[in-house]
Structure formats: C-alpha cells, structure tokens
Amino acid sequence: MSALDALDERQREAASVLRGPVAVLAGAGTGKTRVITHRIAHGVDTGAYSPSRVMAVTFTAKAAGELRGRLRGLGIEGVVARTFHAAALAQLNFFWPTLAGSPAPSIIDNKVRLLGQAAEQLRLRPDTATLRDIASEIEWRKVSMLSIEQHAALGRSVGRVSTEQLAALQQGYEALKDDRRQLDFEDVLLACAGMLEAEPRVSASVHEQYRHFTVDEFQDVSPLQNRLLELWLGDRRDICVVGDASQTIYSFAGADQKYLLEFGRRYPDATVVRLETNYRSQPPILAAANALMNGRAGALELVAARESLTAEAPTVTAYASETEEAAGIAASIAARIAAGASPSEIAVLYRAHSQSGVIQQALGEAGIASRVLGGKRFFDMPEVRQAVLALRGASVAPTERGFLSNVQKVLRELGLSDEPPAAGGAQRDGWEARRAILRLAEEAPSETTLRSFSEALMARAKDQHEPTIQAVTMSTLHAAKGLEWPHVHLAGWTEGALPISYATGFDAIDEERRLAYVGITRAARTLALSWSHAAGRGERQPSRFLQEIGTTARGTGILRETSPNATRGGRRG
C-alpha cells in the first residue's frame, strides 16, 4: 500500500512532489500533518529520501513528537523531527567543543531573574511585571535580528523604563550572560546561525547531513528562524513549507507571514498546493470562518468534506453582564452533558486569562469540572494572589469606607489605574486581572462585605485545582491553536476584548481577526458565541467581528441569535 493512498486529490498532489521547493497552503482542519508525514513516508518508500537526511522542523516539542509518532505509524524511523531551537541546540552542542575547545555555554532558565540583577547594578527598580515585559522585548529584538543600538533607534520603551534605560538594561543583561558563559533561548538560534556563517566546515557538514527540509506552521517563522533555515539549506532547493496565513497570531513575538505569502516569489518554479477541504467542521461553522476572513491576504476558502442536513448554525447570545454570560455558558454546557456529551468534548475559549475566573466559577457552581489549558490559572497569577491576600488583610482593619470603595482602594494601591497600560504583555495581564476582581466586586450583592468577598475569592481559588476526571477545557485563543473540540463556546466577543483594546491600526486589528478565526475553526459540530452588555459599571458594544460575520437573517444569515433565557434553559448552541 502506498503512502499516498490515504490522501485526497489535493493532499496527494502535495505529497507526491518530492524534489524542489513546495508550498502547501493548508487551511484549518485540512490535514496538513497527514500531508507532511505521508509525503516524507512516500519519499522514503520510493528511495528518494534517506530518513536520516530529512529534517522536519516545527514550533513546539509536542508537535515534533506528534510528527515522529505518525511517521513511526507509517513504518518510518530515523527522520529528525525537532523544533527550531532543539535542532539549533543539538548542532551547537555537537560543533562547539571542536571549534572552541570547551563545552557549549549553558542555557539560562529565567531571563527575569538575570534582568533583575542587571537592574540592581543600574539602580533601577522595575517591578516583576515590567521585567517580564522587558524579557519579551528582548526576545522580539533578537528574533527580529536587531542589535541593541538598532532597537534603541526605534524609540521603544517598556512601562516607565525609558528607551535609554532599556538599552542600558539590555547591555547589562548581555554582560552578565557573557561573564557566566550563558546563552538565552534566542541566543541558541543566533549562535547557531553565526557558527554556520563563520565556519565553512560546519556548514558543509550540516549540508551533507540534511538534504531535505520540511517546515510546519511556516506562517509563524521569525526573521531569525528564516535566516537559520536559509543557512541550513545552503544552495539546495528541497524544501517543503506548510502553513496558513489566516492563522498568523504571533506577530507580537516576531512571526512574519510574508515568508509564507512570498514563497512563490522567492521560488518562481515552486509547486504551490492549496488545501481547502476541511475534515473537521460542519458547513455552517466554515461559513462563519470564511465570512470573517473574506478578502484577507492569503485567506483560503474552506469547504466541508461532508455536507450535513442536520448541522446547527452557530449561535450568538447577548447577556446583561459577564456574570450572566458565564452562567449562561455553564447552563448550556450542563444541558449538553446531560444530553450525552462528554465534558472533554467541550471547550470555552476567550481572549485573555483574566476572563477565565468568572467562567470557571460558574462551571463549578453548575457541578461541571474544568481545566485551564496552558499558562497559569487565573487565581494562580501572582497579581491575583497578591490582591486576595491584600483584601483579606484589609478586611481585618475597621474602616468607614463602603465595601466597593475598600476594594477599589486596595486594588489601586496594588497598581490598578483608571487607564490600562498602553501595550500588551505582563503589565496588561496584571491590570486586567485586578480589573476582573473589581468587576466581581461591582457585581456582588449589596450586602457583601470586604470579609465575605475576600473569603469568596479564597474559596474560588481553592476550587481551581486541576481535576483528574473528564473536564471542560478552558483556554485562551492563543493556547487553543492546533487543537479541536466537537463543541466550542467563544466568550467575550465585545469591543475592547476581541479585538482587544490596545490593538490599534489595521495590522493589529487584522491579527485580532485571525485570532477570532482560530477560535471559530476549533469547533467541529457546534459553535456558540456570546458577549455581555456590561463589564462592572461600564457599557460594552458587540465585537465588530460579529457584524462582519452577520448576526441575523438581515445580514448574511450565518449566525443565529438566541436569547439568554433560551440558553439558560438548555437550548442547544
């Protein structure tokens, strides 16, 4: 049996071209991993590839492991499937002792700690959130292949750390690393690229070892990763890239979709195959995804592999408040579980971690186990733990202030301001977390006291332990990329949340649109979108993306509006 037999016509076309440049533009749910693995298997089966001469590169260790597992299932052993960083580190560790006469430098495990030490030397005292944002800025600078001087010329700053202070901090950070013979995560790529450029014998050895390259999620490559790939390739042309421009959601971390979109321009003779047959989602869900991305650069027109006469249209429900939205989502999920669905088949996705607390509480009150995918749980965030402890402490001291005024006072002392930070990152996450606590206080019953509120927060925190039973998945949209569930709820579709408030300008809004697209295409059978009119005492408007998709029959008719009462009564959707 040929490795091509299990593929559809377009997949077979992509997998059968074994030489020269190939670009596979693979939409969500179109079987890109199947194409990658079957193409490599076909190359090995036909003798075109020697397994040890193939390198498959992806972005996460989990994805690399999946590639290796699927290849083993096809009877293929010996293919190198690694992340960019793992491949670069392996080459550094192999060649460095020969070149330098000593082991390769160690890898630091915590930028923030080293940045804190550099700040102390400069007599600066940025808080931990600011240090985390500075660490992210350093990562962006390095993957963008900018020197500290070039970065400073851009005039970027972080919080209250000026451009000049940021440059000095970076110089101090680099000096500490050099003194200790250490590299950070991005240095691994830079050092490997520098080694290949400077040492002809190293590049010759790598070129001899690896002849055929496959790169998954190519829309996510940064300038530095693309440069390293070019050095691995040398003057060879056997490269297959696979990606979807509509799923570029890491531009803030240096990802640049131009390398995918312009692949055909770089290689005019490249074979370019579009995979648009979706094997995951029902037709109405794909209609919503297509409407959202209509006319965008590189967008693919997804078509369901199977038509369905019983497919449910995606729904959109408006609630009075975030608390009612959470309760409505929980009621809908409870009804679905009662009808026979497993909790593990259901996901609730949202834009920011700060949105998770009220939803998880509502699920718990409905007796539904949940787990938070990736990152820290809301109540495990340091800003939240700090706020809970401060509120608990404040409840002991007598005060003439009212309950809500007390909460506002405590949160302001911890850093909550009227206006959010100008940009995203750890500072924004901390602000959103404190703001979420304030919204809970604003929506609390009138008889609530500071003591009862802090006890309620501690009880919520206690209930957040990872369950060992089947559970509903809760996740940010970023962390959900690459995953799928039969039933998906997308919460918080309001202006200021999706698109998020600090996204300004066409490019930033387009990134938010792609994030919304990723959320929609996680759903296989049912999709429910929701939003709330009020956040605390503020009013919100529905996301512009709802209008673009069409929320009523007067629009495109793609989404079906439901009422909160219908949702809470168990109506599906």
Q: Is 367 annotated as a binding residue?
A: no
Return the DSSP state at 500.
B
Nearest partner of 248 among 28, 522, 64, judged by Cα? 28
Q: Extract the tokens encoding 528.
A: 């429910």
* Residue 435: other Cβ atoms inside 10 A: 17
CA angle 483, 488, 489 (to 5 degrees): 130
Sign of CA dihedral 20, 26, 31, 32: positive
Question: Alpha-carbon distance 451 to 19, whole Å?
Answer: 69
Q: Is 481 annotated as a binding residue?
A: no
Classified as helix, coil or strand, 319 is: strand
Q: Is 430 annotated as a binding residue?
A: no
Nearest partner of 170 among 196, 150, 191, judged by Cα? 150
Length of the chain (residues): 573
Question: Alpha-carbon distance 451 to 456, whole Å?
Answer: 9
Nearest partner of 424 among 508, 541, 540, judged by Cα? 508
Q: Is 28 annotated as a binding residue?
A: yes
Question: Alpha-carbon distance 209 to 234, whole Å?
Answer: 12
Report whether 263 contacts 23 (CB < 8 A). yes
Q: Extract the tokens encoding 219.
A: 């829309």
Question: Alpha-carbon distance 460 to 473, whole Å?
Answer: 18
Question: Alpha-carbon distance 17 to 88, whole Å?
Answer: 27
Q: Is 29 annotated as a binding residue?
A: yes
Report whether 386 contacts 444 (CB < 8 A). no
- b/e map 368-380, b = 16+ CB within 10 Å: bebbbeeeebbbe
Q: Is 315 annotated as a binding residue?
A: no
Q: Is 32 annotated as a binding residue?
A: yes
Q: Is 33 annotated as a binding residue?
A: yes
Phi, psi of 63 (to 5 degrees): -65, -40
Question: Alpha-carbon distance 196 to 87, whole Å?
Answer: 13
Question: Alpha-carbon distance 547 to 335, whole Å?
Answer: 28
DSSP 51-76: GGGEEEEESSHHHHHHHHHHHHHTT-
Residue ranges of the binding site: 26-33
Residue ranges of the binding site for ATP: 26-33
